[in-house]
A and B are shown apart, each in its own frame.
Chain A
Amino acid sequence: MGELAAFIILSALTLIPAVVVVTSGNVVRAAMSLIPSFLGVTGLFVLLGAEFVAGIQILIYAGAIAVLILFVIMLTEGGTGLAIRQLNEQRLPGIVVAGALTIGLVVLVLRTAWPLTAGTLPASNVTAIGTAFLTDFILAFEISSLVLLVSLVGALVIARKEV
């Protein structure tokens, strides 16, 4: 019962700011609404028993990516807080496509046979993830460092052309 209540509160905390992000005319307000959304997702991770991922979610998403997005917005035109027009001439085709996508996704979700047995939670999240990284998924671990290197180089190449 308490879990259902927590789930509902956290979902509201995730979804309502998400709607604000998409519909707000004030770009900075939209970026700021990302933060409660991220915190809601953190709570959802905790409900699923993924502690380490919840901690990372706050640290990286709310602490690093939100800062990056806010920096970008405040350094550009949007930083003045002026309202930007949110709707354009393609409203009707947009609604049709969005509606079709929604129907498609709902049908997909309802028709999939989701496995309903819960797995067993490891005693310590962090050690389990660490062990998995360093033994079974070592290739993914090393390749992720390569991915980070590539994104660093790519981002610097793009950003510095404007400098």
Chain B
Amino acid sequence: MEILKAIVETILLFTFLAVVTAMLGVYLERKISGWIQSRLGPKHVGPQGLLQTIADTVKLLQKEHITPLNADVPTFNVAPILVAVAGLLAWMIIPFGPAFGRIIMVRDINIGLLFFLAMASLIVIGILLGGWASNNKYALLGGFRSASQMISYEIPLALALMVPIMMAGTLSTRAIVEAQGGSIRNWYIFGGPYEWYLAIPGVIAFAVFIIAATAETNRIPFDLPEAESELVAGYFSEYTGMRFALFQLGEYAEAFGMSALAAVLFLGGWHGPVLPGIVWFLIKMFALVFLLMWARWTYPRLRLDQLLNLSWKGLVPLGFLLVLVTGWMLV
């Protein structure tokens, strides 16, 4: 019955996420970082180094779990699981594309985008608790910084999301993609099936979304909480082995999830000529992931006050302006 179907689907989704985001994503990150830095990435394990992440996972599986003295053990254990599960749940509303006669997505929840934002805000809690539970000054400081950064960028994220919602008139991701059908001109980044001047808020909203997504997932140029040169490893300094891997899984799942959401909301989801829908969706998602990884090695790290100023004094007013302008143009 339905519960059985749900269990099977979550195992499938989790496996997809583990393989594509964690393994492929980490491999891509290392390869792309290598090429940008004029060196080769992993090369030896498997053809072209493709099995590198599997080797790393096997290695991590047999690393010892060290719990620091005076750490709050239940919280210490729960935090990585919370981050990983919230990252996984955020993928529930992403539509992949038409296949076997129906759109492949886990569940078209009516309030899809609100649900995605809710899961993104649960990750903040996991990180804060992880930083606190380690009983380590640096971890706690990293946890605070990370939480402050993530909450500061949630508002621009939500406001940038508001633009496709206003254009489509619904919170359901599948309906938003279906509204962008027809031709490339109908993608929301180009203004959707409306007048041309809606492309202006479309493009700006896309840019704000990508910037906020980079900050939400603690990637450079916003990775001060994990700054290797400053805080050791930030909020996960005390996490060893697989717990560390779970944090990373959650973060990569969220990064891919944000790219997938941007592809769905702004770039037309599964629409595209010739190739099947799912292929187009994956192409768009990976293109945005590549953009995120490219940005990582292009920009220097922002200082905490620069980062917070950018959000509160720059992106938040810009976001509100976007909402007002889009509303005015659509009415």
Contacts and interface: CB of A to CB of B under 8 A. Distances in A.
A adjacent to B, CB under 8 Å: yes
Instruction: Give the interface size class of chain B.
Output: 20 to 34
Instruction: Give the interface size class of chain A.
Output: 20 to 34
Nearest to A75: B144
Interface in A43-66: 51-52, 54-56, 58-59, 62-64, 66
Interface stretch (B114-122, B192-200, B211-219, B228-236): B114-122
Contacts, number: 67
A66 B125 contact: yes
A125 B125 contact: no
Interface in B102-129: 109-111, 114-115, 117-122, 124-125, 128-129
Q: For the complex, would chain A's binding face be called helix, strand, loop or mixed by DSSP majority?
A: helix
Interface in A98-131: 124-126
A79 interface: yes
A74 B121 CA distance: 19
Nearest to B112: A55
B1 to A, nearest CB: 11
Interface in B64-118: 72, 75, 109-111, 114-115, 117-118
Given A52-B114, A59-B114, A28 B72 contact: yes
A67 B114 contact: no
Interface string B21-33: 0000000000000
Contact of B118 (A58, A67, A125): A58
A62 B125 contact: yes
Nearest to A35: B125
B85 to A, nearest CB: 12
Given A52-B114, A55-B111, A124-B110, A62 B147 contact: no
B125 A74 contact: no
A15 interface: no
Contacts of B122: 58, 62-63
B176 to A, nearest CB: 13
A13 interface: no
A32 interface: yes
Nearest to A42: B118
A8 to B, nearest CB: 17
A62 B126 CA distance: 11
A55 B115 contact: yes
Contacts of A141: none
A66 B125 CA distance: 8
A148 to B, nearest CB: 13
29 contacts: A28-B75, A28-B132, A29-B75, A32-B129, A35-B125, A51-B110, A52-B114, A54-B111, A55-B111, A56-B114, A58-B115, A58-B118, A59-B114, A62-B121, A63-B120, A63-B154, A64-B121, A67-B121, A67-B125, A67-B128, A67-B147, A67-B151, A74-B128, A74-B132, A74-B144, A79-B132, A125-B110, A126-B111, A126-B171
Interface of B: 72, 75, 109-111, 114-115, 117-122, 124-125, 128-129, 132, 140, 144, 147, 151, 154, 171
Given A55-B115, A67-B151, 18 more contacts: A32-B75, A35-B125, A51-B109, A51-B110, A54-B111, A55-B118, A58-B119, A63-B120, A64-B151, A66-B125, A67-B121, A67-B125, A70-B128, A70-B132, A74-B128, A125-B110, A125-B111, A126-B171
